Structure 1
Amino acid sequence: MTEPSNQPEVSPVFFPEAQKITIKQIAEWAGAEIVRGDGDLTISGVVPLDAGVAGTLVFIDNPKYLDQLTETHATACLVSKKHLEKVPEGVIPLLAKEPYRSLSKVLAKLYPSAMRPLPATSERGVSAAAFVEDSAVLGEGVIVEAGAVIGAGVVIGAGSVVGPNAVIASNCQLGELCSIGANSSVQHSVLGDRVIIHPNVSLGQDGFGFAMGAGGHIKVPQVGRVVIGNDVEIGAGSCVDRGANRDTIVDDGTKIDNQVQIGHNANIGKHCVIVSQVGISGSATLEDYVVMGGKSGVSGHVRVGMGAQIAGVSAVHEDLAPGGRYGGVPARPIREWFKEITMIRRLAAQGSKKKEN
């Protein structure tokens, strides 16, 4: 006799299917132009190029996938001018200046529930299994899930969600429409509006401060805060230490990936992008629009200029000028780094030939 399986017979669906939308509506959302075809046709989903079938929307941005574009059977494709001629007949080209950004606007309309983390359960309001201090102030529509702890004097703005087992420590402030992921810890922190904190994030814990000496290392009290601006997103497992004698700041619109460490007194500007496993040491400054690739790092008291881009696995030990592209250890202008790598490869190849001879 066959034993019953514990596996579900049908794969779970985590987001509802998109409603059918006309190509005209898609073009309006995307800020795109219908180059040819019937704008009254409908699509009911967005899929990768190689999965494109009738009734779906695809996009092309990376030339690596041009072969897939020529073979797609999707109803419509978001495409830039440089790839427009590659869109096959029978597929409606939607001409967009930046197809990927246009796609994000369409997806936000089709799947609004995916724009911020969802509550873990269907329970609304404050769970009976949560603990909320009497002096805490919760705005309209706030959800506090089971196991969460809200400390004394906490203020949480309207529409915010505090996930299961998250802790909002005394006197912290959260703006409106914030999402605090499961098992996250927020202390000594002030958050703006629409901040997204994914699971297992820690905000406002001690900065790593010690007066070191031969007789032992003396702990230096960390008496600053963490101040998070509006529309900041912080990925799972990341940590932002509170300041030692001033605030640690992450300014408006900055996006931080999983497993990132930001040290005490760091000042992160507006709309920075910080990829996974980056480490930013204490009192470092990133000006607005800085991009840091994965596993790169910035030493303490270093300033990275506005709009600078740092390649993955690079180490920044000195101030970097605005707008440049940098890479290597230590980080230097990327063309210089590439030249050095090329020279090292040539020298290595010459050495190998000599050994063979």
Structure 2
Amino acid sequence: MQQSKTLKEIAEYLGGTVRGDGAVRVGGLAPLETAGPDTITFLANHKYAAKVAETKAGAVLMAPGNESYGRNVVEVANPYLGFAKLLTLFYTSPHPGLGILPESNVGTGVTMGEGISIYPGACVGNNVTIGARTVIHSGAVIYEGAVIGDDCVVHANVVIRERCRLGNRVIIQPGAVIGSDGFGYAPDGRGYYRIPQIGIVVLEDDVEVGANTTVDRAALEVTLVKQGTKLDNLVQVAHNCQIGRDCMIVSQVGISGSTKVGDHVTLAGQVGVAGHLTIGDNVMVGAKSGVPNSLAANAGYSGYPAQPHKEWLKSMAVVSNLPALKKTVGSLEKRIAELEEQLKK
């Protein structure tokens, strides 16, 4: 943790303003319930506003216009973003460049920038390029000809296959696989003939990949994840997919081959996307939805199969009433049968 900061310094760092004593010093962050006088807390959700009156924090990070209850306040337009930036300020520091540590395995023809760290047990293949200040943790395996940019972090047991390319500031969490073979087989009448996957994966700048996520290499060209996109844990991106900029792909999403996802798309947990589809820019798909067809831009979708979110809500309202509807229909059928019997007589 870094040294303490005054509220005035914090406000300047975040581009906010102080309401109260700007000379108060804090040295870290804590939740509203457990914060003490030497920490700053934050209010990002208004439904917890009453807890500000009870907190013992030295200051509260909040949006302008909220009740301070006599507490020192740092006002910022986006408290949650401010919280994230303060975590960075207080709890993270540049990784020291340790060089190639003993018991790591580095091949021939490797190009390395200054300030890199390769930990014991990491394996770097021949003709790999590693940018400045990049960290390769223990157990990571980098295949021949891979390219990794500056300021990247490759965590333990990550595999980056041959010729795949990572931009700058890419973070790969433990156990992820970049460039595994795409699921490609041709039926030959008796079984399936394996199709060699000779393409690569490209992750652009500021992409992050969660633990045990897999991004398959293309059959011929490139599986592409564009700048700023974040893939959660346990995500599957199949071969030849293209994922746009600044997308959020949440845990257990599966995207089938050759699908194109636009910019600023959110796929919530366990969404399944069929292959060879196009999902437009600024689309949001609700959790556990199934996407069998292309989706138009600038809209929200939910359900299985996915449909416009408002239509899905109407459908779900009917589903919740199905037991009563079934009872009503049964009663009507009985009455109709009785009337028909009377008519026969």
Under a length normalisation based on structure 2, what TM-score does the superposition of the two structures give? 0.91
Distance (whole Å) between structure 1 residues aligned to residue 274 and residue 52 of structure 2: 44
Is the aligned partner of 1:109 residue 2:89? Answer: yes
Q: Tell me the amino acid that sits aligned with residue 74 of structure 2.
A: L
Identity of aligned residues (%): 38
What's 2:39 paired with? 56
Equivalences for 1:169-248 in 2 at 5 Å?
169-188=143-162, 189-248=164-223
Is the aligned partner of 1:37 residue 2:9? Answer: no
Report the Cα offset of residue 94 of structure 1: 2.0
Q: Which residue, 293, 303, 312 being the options, matches 2:278? A: 303
Distance (whole Å) between structure 2 residues aligned to residue 299 and residue 234 of structure 1: 21
Q: Which residue, 77, 80, 99 being the options, matches 2:60? A: 77
Report the Cα offset of residue 353 of structure 1: 7.4
For residues 125-155 of structure 1, what are the alpha-carbon distances to aligned partners after superposition, in whole Å with 9 as ceiling and x for unaligned?
A: 1122111112111111211111111111111
Q: Tell me the amino acid that sits aligned with residue 97 of structure 1.
A: A
Is the aligned partner of 1:155 residue 2:129? Answer: yes
Distance (whole Å) between structure 2 residues aligned to residue 67 and residue 213 of structure 1: 68
Distance (whole Å) between structure 1 residues aligned to residue 69 and residue 110 of structure 2: 59
Distance (whole Å) between structure 2 residues aligned to residue 349 and residue 88 of structure 1: 49
Equivalences for 1:8-47 in 2 at 5 Å?
16=1, 18-34=2-18, 36-47=19-30
Distance (whole Å) between structure 2 residues aligned to residue 242 and residue 147 of structure 1: 25
Distance (whole Å) between structure 1 residues aligned to residue 55 and residue 275 of structure 2: 50
Gaps of 5+ in 1: 1-15
Distance (whole Å) between structure 2 residues aligned to residue 352 and residue 263 of structure 1: 46
SS of 2:88 mapped into structure 1:
helix
What's 2:139 paired with? 165
User: Matched residue pairs, number?
Assistant: 331
Q: Tell me the amino acid that sits aligned with residue 22 of structure 1.
A: T
Report the Cα offset of residue 278 of structure 1: 0.8
Distance (whole Å) between structure 2 residues aligned to residue 285 and residue 138 of structure 1: 34
Is the aligned partner of 1:130 residue 2:110? Answer: no
What's 2:340 paired with? none
What's 2:326 paired with? 351
What's 2:335 paired with? none
Report the Cα offset of residue 95 of structure 1: 2.0
Q: Tell me the amino acid that sits aligned with residue 126 of structure 1.
A: I
SS of 2:85 mapped into structure 1:
helix
Distance (whole Å) between structure 1 residues aligned to residue 315 and residue 103 of structure 2: 60
For residues 27-75 of structure 1, what are the alpha-carbon distances to aligned partners after superposition, in whole Å with 9 as ceiling and x for unaligned?
A: 11222222x3111111111001111221221111123423323321212
Distance (whole Å) between structure 2 residues aligned to residue 69 and residue 352 of structure 1: 50
Is the aligned partner of 1:334 residue 2:309? Answer: yes
Is the aligned partner of 1:99 residue 2:74? Answer: no
Report the Cα offset of residue 97 of structure 1: 1.3
Distance (whole Å) between structure 1 residues aligned to residue 211 and residue 56 of structure 2: 37
Distance (whole Å) between structure 1 residues aligned to residue 282 and residue 186 of structure 2: 35
Contact 1:275 1:292 in 2 (8 A): yes
For residues 101-126 of structure 1, what are the alpha-carbon distances to aligned partners after superposition, in whole Å with 9 as ceiling and x for unaligned?
A: 1111222111223x8xx69xxx9211
SS of 2:319 mapped into structure 1:
helix
SS of 1:58 mapped into structure 2:
strand
Distance (whole Å) between structure 2 residues aligned to residue 63 and residue 352 of structure 1: 43
Q: Which residue, 249, 256, 264 being the options, matches 2:239? A: 264
Contact 1:30 1:103 in 2 (8 A): no
Q: Tell me the amino acid that sits aligned with residue 102 of structure 1.
A: G
Distance (whole Å) between structure 2 residues aligned to residue 202 and residue 213 of structure 1: 29
SS of 1:337 mapped into structure 2:
helix
Root-mean-square deviation (CA, aligned residues, Å) is 2.0
Report the Cα offset of residue 354 of structure 1: 7.9
Q: Tell me the amino acid that sits aligned with residue 100 of structure 1.
A: Y
Change (3 A) 1:277 1:28: same
SS of 2:33 mapped into structure 1:
helix
Under a length normalisation based on structure 1, what TM-score does the superposition of the two structures give? 0.88
Q: Tell me the amino acid that sits aligned with residue 282 of structure 1.
A: G
Q: Tell me the amino acid that sits aligned with residue 276 of structure 1.
A: S
Distance (whole Å) between structure 1 residues aligned to residue 188 and residue 72 of structure 2: 70
Larger radius of gyration: 2
Distance (whole Å) between structure 1 residues aligned to residue 208 and residue 111 of structure 2: 23
Is the aligned partner of 1:66 residue 2:40? Answer: no
Following TM superposition, where does structure 1 have runs of at least 4 consecutive aligned residues deviating by more than 3 angstroms?
Answer: 349-356
Distance (whole Å) between structure 2 residues aligned to residue 237 and residue 23 of structure 1: 40
Q: Tell me the amino acid that sits aligned with residue 330 of structure 1.
A: P
Equivalences for 1:267-286 in 2 at 5 Å?
267-286=242-261
Distance (whole Å) between structure 2 residues aligned to residue 57 and residue 354 of structure 1: 60
